[in-house]
Amino acid sequence: MPEPARLRVVAVVDETGDSRSLVFEAPPDWSYRPGQFLTLRIPSDETGSVARSYSLSSSPHVDDAMKVTVKRAGYGSNWLCDNVVAGSEVDVLPPGGAFVPGSLDEDSLLLAAGSGITPVMSIAKSVLAAGTGRIALVYANQHQDSVIFAAELQELVARYPDRLLVVHWLESVQGLPTAATLRELVRPFADRECFVCGPGGFMDTAEEALRELDVPRARTHIERFVSLKRNPFERKKRKSASAATDSSTEPAPAEATNAEPARGEPADGSADATVEVDLDGERHELRWPRQKRLLDLLLDNDVAAPFSCREGACSACACRIESGEVKMVQNEVLEQEDLDEGIILACQSLPITDRVRVTYD
């Protein structure tokens, strides 16, 4: 698995009454893409620690340090807000996630609500600073005081008046947005690449609005919040298949929505399968036991496959089947369109056919 690093917090920034940004001094060999997230280890008296993932609100094209923004929503975020100060050290996994723009030169429509602004802010700053794309951002909040990055957004609009449009939606003034109101609001930008992040109700409403505008699924990127059920830090520490269970409902980023797993069943007790894996320009051929998940197989054979949550909730381990068939044990990320294109999650995949070929390239 990716090795965690102990990162020093160089600054803590109060954003709103219930949200703070943690600015990290990152290792020199770490890099990230706009819209990705970090997974943090948070102490717990009950389980030793819990793992929480927070989107990076910094931009790799603008900011020297890495910054995550945390809004109070449960044990993990409350602990970070109450206990972390400049000089604190936190165990962190390297950046992960696939909620990233394909090009900084393409025009984008960004739909965010509440703390869903964090990866969207990273994308917006990156496009404006390092690309030529135009940004239209619709940002929903309960009231004016809950608007995260209000001053920074205002500064960006002043700096890029011809490339950035920000529309604030306040529930205290306008009520909850409906699919119909969002549809008409974003209609002029429906031909753009779309990125959506926020609480579940807002996400559903935004998706419905985009569907009604016939925005292609391939141009819609969804970042949902789901709970991490296992702790990658404790798994590493205990060298065990069982992980510390987190009963909190606090969310962690995960791209897209639930979808059905691949068809078929692996044959228990049958002969091992064979898998060919193309990764970073190299091909690996491995014997694949029927009940061993693909990611575990790769890591056990020193193949540095990417991953983060290991529970089908973040898409960091996504790869594509070129031949053969697998079954996914769990999937909280990929939609049917992704599955139809052969995208699978390595951390959840078991072999069905005798030979399987996948690529990360």
Instruction: Name the one residue in this structure whose structure tokens are 């690309």.
Output: 131
Segment 313-321 mean pLDDT: 85
Percent of all residues in the chain with a pLDDT value above 90, rounded to a whole number: 67
Q: With a cut of 70, say whether residue 194 has pLDDT above it.
A: yes
Percent of all residues in the chain with a pLDDT value above 70, rounded to a whole number: 88
Q: With a cut of 80, say whether residue 243 has pLDDT above it.
A: no
pTM tops 0.85: no
Q: What is the pLDDT of residue 235?
A: 57
Segment 158-164 mean pLDDT: 98
Q: With a cut of 90, say whether residue 345 has pLDDT above it.
A: yes
Q: What is the pLDDT of residue 231?
A: 73
Q: Which of 42-56, 205-219, 256-270, 307-321 has the highest mean pLDDT?
A: 205-219
Cα gap 286→263, rounded to integer Å: 23
In our burial notation (b when 16+ CB lie closer than 10 A, e otherwise), range 57-79 reads bbbbbebeebbbbbbbbebbbeb
Q: 61-103: per-residue pLDDT in tens?
A: 999 999 999 999 889 999 999 999 999 999 999 998 888 998 9
> Which DSSP helix (H) or strand (E) runs through 254?
strand 252-255
> Which DSSP helix (H) or strand (E) runs through 189?
none
Domains of the chain, CATH where assigned:
5-96 (2.40.30.10), 108-225 (3.40.50.80), 273-359 (3.10.20.30)
DSSP three-state, residue 295: helix
* Residue 252: pLDDT band with limits 50, 70, 90: very low
Backbone angles phi, psi at 349, to 5 degrees: -95, 135
Cα gap 59→111, rounded to integer Å: 18
Q: 271-287: per-residue pLDDT in tens?
A: 899 999 999 889 999 99
Q: What is the pLDDT of residue 257?
A: 32
Please answer whether residues 35 and 110 qualify as being in contact, where contact means their C-beta atoms are separated by less than 8 angstroms.
Answer: no
Segment 212-234 mean pLDDT: 79
Q: Hey, what are 299's tokens?
A: 């890591």
Please answer whether residues 231 and 246 qualify as being in contact, where contact means their C-beta atoms are separated by less than 8 angstroms.
Answer: yes
* Residue 128: pLDDT band with limits 50, 70, 90: very high
Q: What is the pLDDT of residue 226?
A: 62
Segment 257-269 mean pLDDT: 38
Q: With a cut of 80, say whether residue 254 has pLDDT above it.
A: no
Q: 6-37: per-residue pLDDT in tens?
A: 999 999 999 999 999 999 998 999 999 999 99
Q: With a cut of 50, say whether residue 248 has pLDDT above it.
A: no
